[in-house]
Amino acid sequence: MYKYDEYDQAMVDARVEEFRDQTRRRIEGHLSEDQFKPLRLKNGLYLQLHAYMLRVAVPYGTLNSRQMRKLAHIARKYDRGYGHFTTRQNIQYNWIKLAEAPDILAELATVEMHAIQTSGESIRNLSADHYAGAAPDEICDPRPWAELIRQATTFHPEFSYLPRKFKIAVIAAQEDRAALRWHDCALRIVKNETGEKGFEVYAGGGMGRTPIIAFLIREFCPASQIFSYIQAILRVWNRHARRDNIHKQRMKILVHELGEDEFRRQVEMEFAHILTLGRDFPQAEYDRIAAHFEPPPFETGLPEEVDRSDPDFALWVDRQVAAHKAPGYAIVNISLKPDGGIAGDISAEQMDLVADLAERYSFDDLRSTHVQNLVLPHVRKRDLHAVWQALDAAGLASVNLGLVTDIIACPGLDYCSLANARSIPVAQQIAERFADLNRQLDLGELKIKISGCINACGHHHAAHIGILGVDRKGTENYQLLLGGSGTEDVSQAKITGPGFDETGIVDAVERTIERYREIREPGERFLDCYRRVGMDPFKEAIYG
């Protein structure tokens, strides 16, 4: 994985000092909360209902054991002993004291981590395929490009006060494991007819109150020009987006207002101009970065077979383990959705354990996923049983990847000052209702995602079954949505009809799922069934 050199380290250290200074000015009263807010937001520090929340960047979802142990240490020393992995592969701490935030950033800097551009109107931390470097279906590891773009977009002077947030995702596989087209700028590495590598570029995606799936703005951008192309997109948006209404400032709205063709035309004109400025990074710099992502020294001649005599282990293998590109290796998915737990939450002790496992069994490589789970990307098949035992002992061996209890849920009204309704208890009740593993396995792939308000942090637009918390005459109310997807078959979920109270929404989810069971064809996923029959049979089941 990437290692900072003295330049990278100096930038991060400088940021810590800057933030220490800004925090001091705030605490001493030289900065008002109004003036301080945009500054702290550039460091991932939000003010929530009960405390400050700090969002730490996990660039393209890659961590090593040293970093994970530091995250555990921070959880213990500065928070209440746990952290929360988010849908953008980052980690958040919910109980932070303002005066300690600079110390946390300083601790992070010692392990090459930071909270730069994790919130606010900035180019956010990039997300990427969490199977990068391990997936059999990728044409290359997308992370060297992600790292290059990370550097290119860090403290970019022209794009320091964008109209709104700007989220980039990068993948290099057919299968989309990163909710690609729900990003403002979505990049898929492809090869053209001559075998040259480049990017398929999508623009203008996003969730929030106006969900839009990104459109294909360019079929092929030569890899060496991608930074120029991204700057062209950013400049067109920065110059022409509305600035009078915060809800209409995301890039997707400008694309919608100009039309895709006109937006593309303007970007192409700007691209032609920016190319002449010679701002793209040279091949030598790409090569330098890529050298950090060389495949680990995979052993050869390893056994392929896995001893399945322990039935619990076999169940876990079938669900949580994915195929790896190297013979004898496998990808391990660690569920952060235990029975009755909170999606994405992980204790300091669990972090330490996962760090140990990564170090011992996965070439010191660890990933976070946008579904709020973790991944050990390179595990020898013959070590799977040992890994499973260790995970099981720590309460991390749940079997539910992609199943009905693998729920995404935002913090909601338990933490978030913008929330209309609670998300966590709804997720917990659904998980309880479907706790029986046989029932889950019978239902197959089913993605439930819950947001506590229209901002859609919980990806409900991209859910097979989505839940949205709304405020109805001062009481918590939930809308149900069906038919969304965040993978290569991307689609936007539609609202079923009138909303429900807390118990009502759990019942409605169950009725929806029972109807699916009645009408599905053999082997048909919920999403495919919905696409075949449409909304009506489900409405009938829900509303009678």
Partner 1 sequence: MGDPLRFRDDPAPDEPGVTLDAFLDQKNATSVLLEAGDDVRALLPELGRVRLVEIDFPRFRDGRGFSSASILREAGYEGEIRAIGDVLVDLLFFMRRCGFDSFEPDEPFDPGAVDAALHRYPDVYQSATDGRVPIWALRHPQCATG
Residues that bind ligand SF4 (CB under 6 A): 410-412, 416, 418-419, 451-453, 455-458
Least gap, CB of 1 to ligand SF4 (angstroms): 29
Task: Look at residue 498 and give the partner it binds from ligand SF4, partner 1, ligand HEM, none, a contact being a CB closer than 5 to 8 Å depending on partner kind.
Answer: none
Q: CB nearest ligand HEM: which residue?
A: 208
Least gap, CB of 422 to ligand SF4 (angstroms): 9
Nearer to partner 1, 116 or 348 (CB): 116
End-to-end CA distance of the chain: 54
Give strand ranges (E) for 459-536.
465-472, 475-482, 494-495
Nearer to ligand HEM, 170 or 456 (CB): 456
Task: Look at residue 14 and give the partner it binds from ligand SF4, partner 1, ligand HEM, none, a contact being a CB closer than 5 to 8 Å depending on partner kind.
Answer: partner 1
Least gap, CB of 209 to ligand SF4 (angstroms): 10
For residues 434 and 438, what is the distance between their CA atoms, to the nearest angstrom? 9
Nearer to ligand HEM, 87 or 369 (CB): 87
Task: Look at residue 452 and give the partner it binds from ligand SF4, partner 1, ligand HEM, none, a contact being a CB closer than 5 to 8 Å depending on partner kind.
Answer: ligand SF4
Least gap, CB of 425 to ligand SF4 (angstroms): 13
Least gap, CB of 123 to partner 1 (angstroms): 11
For residues 165 and 163, what is the distance between their CA atoms, to the nearest angstrom? 7
Residue 326 contacts residue 377 (beta carbons within 8 Å)? no
For residues 211 and 234, what is the distance between their CA atoms, to the nearest angstrom? 20
Residue reference for tokens 């928070």? 79
Q: Which of 399, 417, 425, 449 shows the shortest CA–CA distance to 501? A: 425
Nearer to partner 1, 6 or 521 (CB): 6
Nearer to ligand HEM, 129 or 141 (CB): 129
Residue 166 contacts residue 174 (beta carbons within 8 Å)? no
Residue 394 contacts residue 358 (beta carbons within 8 Å)? no
Q: Which long-range contacts (CB under 8 A, 24 or more apart) does 29-35 make?
A: none
Residue 423 contacts residue 411 (beta carbons within 8 Å)? yes
Least gap, CB of 441 to ligand SF4 (angstroms): 30
For residues 375 and 178, what is the distance between their CA atoms, to the nearest angstrom? 14
Nearer to partner 1, 42 or 422 (CB): 42
Least gap, CB of 207 to ligand SF4 (angstroms): 9
Nearer to ligand SF4, 134 or 457 (CB): 457
For residues 189 and 174, what is the distance between their CA atoms, to the nearest angstrom? 10
For residues 445 and 529, what is the distance between their CA atoms, to the nearest angstrom? 12
Least gap, CB of 274 to ligand SF4 (angstroms): 34
Nearer to partner 1, 285 or 432 (CB): 285
For residues 346 and 362, what is the distance between their CA atoms, to the nearest angstrom? 20
Residues 6+ apart with CB under 8 A from 112: 3, 4, 8, 9, 12, 67
What one-character-per-residue DSSP string does 146-214 give?
HHHHHHHHTT-STTSS-SS-B-EEEE-BSS--S-GGGSSEEEEEEE-TTS-EEEEEEE--B-TTS-BPP
Task: Look at residue 412 and give the partner it binds from partner 1, ligand SF4, ligand HEM, none, a contact being a CB closer than 5 to 8 Å depending on partner kind.
Answer: ligand SF4
Task: Look at residue 350 and give the partner it binds from ligand HEM, partner 1, ligand SF4, none, a contact being a CB closer than 5 to 8 Å depending on partner kind.
Answer: none
Q: CA dihedral defined by 180, 185, 186, 188, rounded to 10 degrees?
A: -170
Task: Look at residue 300 and give the partner it binds from ligand HEM, partner 1, ligand SF4, none, a contact being a CB closer than 5 to 8 Å depending on partner kind.
Answer: none
Residues 6+ apart with CB under 8 A from 166: 122, 123, 124, 159, 184, 185, 234, 237, 251
Nearer to partner 1, 220 or 281 (CB): 281
Could you tell me the strand order of the sheet in which 45-47 lies?
Answer: 45-47, 52-56, 91-96, 82-85, 345-347
In the numeric block, which tokens belong to residue 314? 């076999």
Task: Look at residue 323 and give the partner it binds from ligand HEM, ligand SF4, partner 1, none, a contact being a CB closer than 5 to 8 Å depending on partner kind.
Answer: none
Least gap, CB of 351 to ligand SF4 (angstroms): 22
Least gap, CB of 348 to ligand SF4 (angstroms): 23
Q: In this structure, which amino acid lies at residue 144?
A: P
Write out the residues near ligand HEM by the rule CB under 6 A.
Answer: 46, 48, 53, 86-88, 92, 164-165, 167, 182, 206-208, 250, 410-411, 415-416, 418, 455-457
Nearer to partner 1, 262 or 285 (CB): 285
Task: Look at residue 278 and give the partner it binds from ligand SF4, partner 1, ligand HEM, none, a contact being a CB closer than 5 to 8 Å depending on partner kind.
Answer: partner 1
Nearer to partner 1, 234 or 424 (CB): 234
Write out the residues near partner 1 by the rule CB under 8 A.
Answer: 5, 7-8, 10-11, 14, 17-18, 21-22, 35, 38-39, 121, 151-152, 154-163, 227, 235, 238-239, 243, 273, 277-279, 281-282, 284-285, 288
Q: Which of 319, 390, 321 shows the shortest CA–CA distance to 359? A: 390
Nearer to ligand HEM, 207 or 391 (CB): 207
Task: Look at residue 453 and give the partner it binds from partner 1, ligand SF4, ligand HEM, none, a contact being a CB closer than 5 to 8 Å depending on partner kind.
Answer: ligand SF4
Task: Look at residue 88 and give the partner it binds from ligand HEM, partner 1, ligand SF4, none, a contact being a CB closer than 5 to 8 Å depending on partner kind.
Answer: ligand HEM
Task: Look at residue 201 and give the partner it binds from partner 1, ligand HEM, ligand SF4, none, a contact being a CB closer than 5 to 8 Å depending on partner kind.
Answer: none
Phi, psi (deg, nearest 5) at residue 522: -55, 130
